[in-house]
C-alpha cells in the first residue's frame, strides 16, 4: 500500500512539471475591443405592395443600408434574393423563388449585428397554366369576357374556362378549328377572324358561329382586329388594307397599305396601332414595323399613317417577328413574338425593347389579350412539330391593369 501511494504522488508531480513547462497554444481571441458595430438597418417601406416569385423587383426604402451592393443581403422567409442596386436609403432586390402570402423580409448589412425586418409581404406565382388545355390539344386564339373567363377554339368548339384549375365547357361550335383572332363585340357577341374573307359571329350566350360579314374580294382576308370607343371594328390581314366595320355590319376601307400584311391591330388612346410585315417582291425601306393612325370621327375615318417603330431594323433579317400587340394602362406596348423572347416591352416614344419576364416565359406568344384586371392571357400555340410539348394557355399576372378594351360588353 505504501509503494502505491509513492507511485501515485510521483505521477502527479510529473504531470505538474510537464504542464508547467508548456506555453498556452489556444488560438488568439477573435474579440476586438475596438470594434464598433454599424447601425442596425431600418426598413420603412417596401414597394410594390406585392411582387412575384423569382422575377419581381422589390424596392426597400429605409436607412442604415450600405451603398456597396455586396454588403447588403435581403432574405424572404430565409431565402436570399438577388441584390441589384443599393444606396444608404434604398435597396432594389430580385425576389427569390418563393410563393408566400405573408413573408418576412430581413435585411442584413455587413458589419451590423442586427437585421432590419419588415412583414408581412406577399410573393405570388406570376404565370399559371390552364390545366384543361394540355399540349396535345391544338388550341387557337384567346379571348376574355368581363368575368375573366377565357375562350379558345379547339376541335371545332369554342371552349370556356373559368380559371387555370377549372375544366373546359363548350360555349359554341364552329365548322373550323383554325382561328387567328377573337374579339368581343359591345353587344355581347363573340367575333371570329380566321384569315379568310369572312368575319364570323357567335350570338350573346353562345351557340353556333355564322358568317356576319363577307368581303366581296377573295383577297380581302382578315385575321386580326380591335374595337374603338365608337363601336367600330378595325380589321386587317393579308388584305393589305384596314377595314372599319360598323355595328350593323357595313364595311368601309379606311386605309390601303400595298404589299404589307397586318399581323396585329390594337386601339389605344384615340389611335389604331398596327404591326405589319412586308409581303411583296421588292426591297422595302421598312421590312416590319409598328404604325398608328389617329381616329378622326365616329364613323372610323383614320388619319395619316405614322411610323411608331422600325422593328425590321431592330430585329434584323433573322430576328423575331411580332405576332400580337397589347398596351398596359400606362401606355407601354407589349409585343408578342415568335422567337427569342415571348414578350417585349416598348415605349410609344421608341427606345430599346426590353424582354418581359424571360425567366419564366417562352416564345411564341401567338395570341395575347389583357383582361379587365391585372391578367394577361397568352396562347402559346407552338407550330414547330418538335416543340408541341411547349404549347400552353397561360394567365400572367401583372402589378397593374391593361389599357381599356372597348369591345367587351
- Model confidence pLDDT, tens digit, residues 172-211: 999 998 999 999 999 999 999 999 999 999 999 999 999 9
pLDDT of residue 64: 98
Q: Which residues, other chains included, contact 233 with Cβ-Cβ below 8 Å and sequence gap of 6+?
A: 183, 185, 191, 199, 225, 226, 227, 244, 245, 407
Query: Do residue 179 and residue 246 come from a single domain?
Result: yes
Q: What pLDDT shows up at residue 387?
A: 77
Q: Compute the 3-state secondary structure of the chain and give helix, strand, coil in percent, each to the nearest 5.
A: 10, 45, 45
**Closest among 372, 324, 334 to 145, alpha carbons compared:** 372
Q: Is residue 12 part of a domain?
A: no
Do the Cβ atoms of 327 and 266 come closer than 8 Å? yes
Residues 257, 351, single domain; the answer is: yes
| Residue 177 and residue 219 in one domain | yes
Task: Look at residue 348 and tell me if it is in a domain.
Answer: yes
Q: What is the pLDDT of residues 11-45, one digit of tens each?
A: 444 444 444 444 555 455 555 565 678 999 999 99
**Strand order of the sheet with strand 57-63?**
42-47, 57-63, 90-94, 82-86
Whether 304 maps to a domain, the answer reads yes
Inter-residue contact 179 to 140 (CB < 8 Å): yes
Residue 120 within any structural domain of the chain: yes
Residues 52 and 163 in one domain: no
Last residue of a domain, which of 124, 154, 185?
124
Instruction: 184-190: list long-range contacts, CB under 8 Å, 24+ apart.
Output: 184/143, 184/145, 184/405, 184/407, 184/408, 184/409, 185/227, 185/233, 185/247, 185/407, 185/409, 186/227, 186/231, 186/247, 186/406, 186/407, 186/408, 186/409, 187/247, 187/409, 188/409, 190/143, 190/151, 190/158
Distance CA 394, CA 379 (A): 7
213 and 119, same structural domain?
A: no
Instruction: Please give the torsion angle defined by the CA atoms of residues 59, 60, 62 and 66, in that order, rounded to the nearest 10 degrees.
Output: -90
175 and 223 in a single domain? The answer is yes
Say what the pLDDT of residue 3 is: 40
pLDDT in tens, 129-148: 999 998 889 999 999 999 99
Same domain, 112 and 138: no
Q: In sequence order, what are the residues at sequence separation of 6 or more whose Cβ sits closer than 8 angstroms to the Cβ of residue 378? A: 142, 336, 342, 343, 361, 365, 367, 368, 392, 393, 394, 395, 396
Quick one: average pLDDT of 356-374?
A: 93
Q: Are residues 271 and 324 in the same domain?
A: yes
Rounded average pLDDT over 94-120: 96
**Can you give the pLDDT at residue 323?**
97
Q: Determine whether 305 is exposed, middle or buried from the number of CB atoms within 10 Å of its CB (0-12, 13-18, 19+).
A: middle
Q: 6, exposed or middle or buried, with CB in 10 Å at 0-12, 13-18, 19+?
A: exposed
- First-to-last C-alpha distance (Å) of the chain: 110
Separation between Cα atoms, residue 319 and residue 302, nearest integer Å: 31
State whether 71 and 169 are in the same domain: no
User: 337: which 3 cell numbers?
Assistant: 413574338
| Residue 13 domain-assigned (yes or no) | no
Q: Confirm whether 75 is domain-assigned.
A: yes
Give me 93's grid cell: 432586390
Helix (H) or strand (E) holding 2: helix 2-20
Question: Based on the domain organization, do 119 and 212 belong to the same domain?
Answer: no
**Boundaries of domain holding 116:** 42-124
Task: List the grid coordinates of 259.
Answer: 404589299
Q: How far apart are CA 325 and CA 334, in angstroms?
A: 6
Does residue 135 share a domain with residue 255? yes
Domain with 71 in it: what CATH number? 2.60.40.10
**Residue 90, pLDDT score:** 98
Tell me the pLDDT tens digit for each residue of 294-316: 999 999 999 999 999 999 999 99
Say what the alpha-carbon torsion angle 93, 99, 100, 101 is, to the nearest 10 degrees: 100
User: What pLDDT does residue 29 have?
Assistant: 53
Distance CA 364, CA 335 (A): 11
- The total of structural domains in the chain comes to 2
What are residue 318's phi and psi, to 5 degrees? -105, 10
**DSSP string for residues in 381-397:** ----GGGGGG-EEEEEE
* Residue 59 sits in the same domain as residue 119: yes
pLDDT at res. 24? 52
Half-sphere exposure of 120 (CA within 13 A, CB side): 7
Q: Which of 124, 154, 180 is the last residue of a domain?
A: 124
Q: What is the CATH number of the domain that holds 352?
A: 2.120.10.30
Separation of alpha carbons 85 and 249, rounded Å: 55
* Mean of pLDDT values over 148-174: 97
Q: For residue range 214-239, what is the model confidence (pLDDT) as tens digits?
A: 999 999 999 999 999 999 999 999 99
- Report yes or no on 298 lying in a domain: yes
Q: Which of 124, 158, 177 is the last residue of a domain?
A: 124
CA distance 113 to 36: 10
Number of Cα atoms under 13 Å in the Cβ half of residue 103: 27
Q: Quote the pTM value.
A: 0.84
* % pLDDT > 90, the chain: 84
For residue 135, the model assigns a pLDDT of 84
Determine, yes or no, domain membership for 148. yes
Amino acid at each position: 500500500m505504501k509503494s502505491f501511494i509513492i507511485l501515485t504522488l510521483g505521477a502527479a508531480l510529473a504531470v505538474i512539471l510537464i504542464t508547467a513547462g508548456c506555453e498556452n497554444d489556444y488560438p488568439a481571441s477573435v474579440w476586438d475591443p475596438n470594434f464598433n458595430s454599424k447601425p442596425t438597418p431600418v426598413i420603412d417601406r417596401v414597394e410594390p405592395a406585392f411582387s412575384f416569385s423569382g422575377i419581381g423587383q422589390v424596392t426597400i426604402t429605409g436607412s442604415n443600408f450600405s451603398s456597396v451592393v455586396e454588403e447588403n443581403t435581403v432574405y424572404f422567409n430565409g431565402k436570399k434574393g438577388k441584390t441589384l442596386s443599393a444606396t444608404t436609403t434604398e435597396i432594389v432586390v430580385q425576389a427569390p423563388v418563393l410563393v408566400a402570402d405573408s413573408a418576412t423580409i430581413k435585411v442584413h448589412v455587413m458589419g451590423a449585428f442586427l437585421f432590419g425586418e419588415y412583414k408581412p409581404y406577399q410573393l405570388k406565382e406570376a404565370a399559371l397554366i390552364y390545366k384543361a388545355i394540355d399540349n396535345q390539344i391544338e388550341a387557337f386564339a384567346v379571348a376574355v369576357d368581363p368575368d375573366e373567363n377565357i375562350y379558345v377554339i379547339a376541335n371545332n368548339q369554342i371552349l370556356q374556362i373559368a380559371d387555370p384549375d377549372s375544366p373546359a365547357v363548350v360555349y359554341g361550335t364552329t365548322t373550323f378549328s383554325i382561328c387567328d383572332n377573337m374579339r368581343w363585340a359591345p353587344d355581347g357577341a363573340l367575333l371570329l377572324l380566321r384569315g379568310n374573307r369572312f368575319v364570323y359571329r357567335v350570338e350573346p350566350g353562345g351557340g353556333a358561329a355564322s358568317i356576319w360579314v363577307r368581303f366581296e374580294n377573295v383577297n380581302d382576308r382578315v385575321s386580326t382586329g380591335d374595337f374603338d370607343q365608337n363601336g367600330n371594328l378595325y380589321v386587317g390581314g393579308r388584305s393589305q388594307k384596314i377595314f372599319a366595320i360598323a355595328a350593323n355590319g357595313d364595311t368601309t376601307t379606311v386605309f390601303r397599305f400595298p404589299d404589307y400584311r397586318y399581323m396585329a391591330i390594337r386601339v389605344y388612346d384615340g389611335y389604331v396601332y398596327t404591326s405589319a410585315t412586308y409581303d411583296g417582291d421588292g426591297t422595302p425601306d421598312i421590312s416590319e414595323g409598328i404604325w398608328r393612325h389617329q381616329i378622326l370621327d365616329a364613323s372610323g375615318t383614320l388619319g395619316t399613317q405614322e411610323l411608331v417603330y422600325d422593328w425590321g431594323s431592330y430585329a434584323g433579317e433573322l430576328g423575331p417577328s411580332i405576332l400580337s400587340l397589347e398596351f398596359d394602362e400606362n401606355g407601354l406596348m407589349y409585343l408578342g413574338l415568335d422567337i427569342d423572347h415571348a414578350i417585349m416591352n416598348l415605349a410609344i416614344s421608341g427606345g430599346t425593347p426590353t424582354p418581359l419576364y424571360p425567366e419564366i416565359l417562352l416564345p411564341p406568344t401567338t395570341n395575347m389579350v389583357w383582361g379587365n384586371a391585372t391578367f394577361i392571357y397568352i396562347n402559346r400555340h407552338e407550330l414547330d412539330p418538335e416543340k408541341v410539348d411547349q404549347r400552353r394557355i397561360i394567365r400572367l399576372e401583372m402589378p397593374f391593369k391593361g389599357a381599356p378594351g372597348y369591345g367587351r360588353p
